[in-house]
Amino acid sequence: MRILIALMAGAFFGGGLVVSDMVNPARVLAFLDVFGDWDPALAFVMGGAIIPSAIAYWFSKKLTRPLIEEKFFVPQNRTIDGRLIIRALIFGAGWGLAGYCPGPAIAGIAFADWQPIVFVAAMLAGMWLFRLSSELVQSQRSVA
């Protein structure tokens, strides 16, 4: 049941990205071009997403547990440190260069264009390299 709900939520999210044309990297790059031919569509999409998210967050505070899970999974670390800032800058630079972030790129694969396929492949490779490097650092710390 959880997998079905997750698939439905993902399909709904992906459909929203397609309908709002956020799978089009030119639309995203036009939003980031504030000194050129600026397109505010992404701001409206983000604003439209914030409203139902805020409502759901408000309702979640009144629940003792989620509907399909045993407990809420809320990040405990709220520290803004150098690692977070560097990773956010890398994410933003990649988004600005490619016009894709993970959600729209995955939804864009449905159109069988080569750009989102290459982006997702590179993203998965980067995730794998990060995990590999983290494991190497962790193993070196445990040896020392």
Report pTM: 0.71
Tell me what pLDDT residue 120 has.
93
Return the residue matching tokens 């803004």. 80
Measured between alpha carbons, how far is 97 from 11 in angstroms, rounded to an integer?
A: 26
Task: Yes or no: say if 123 and 105 are a contact pair by the CB < 8 Å rule.
Answer: yes
Tell me what pLDDT residue 54 has.
94
63: left (phi over 0), alpha (psi -120 to 50) or beta: beta
Tell me what pLDDT residue 128 has.
94
Measured between alpha carbons, how far is 123 from 141 in angstroms, rounded to an integer?
A: 27
Tell me what pLDDT residue 80 has.
94
Return the residue matching tokens 């009144």. 62
User: Domain residue spans in the chain?
Assistant: 2-143
Tell me what pLDDT residue 32 has.
86
Tell me what pLDDT residue 144 has.
66
Residues of the chain predicted below pLDDT 50 = none
56: part of which helix (H) or strand (E)? helix 41-60
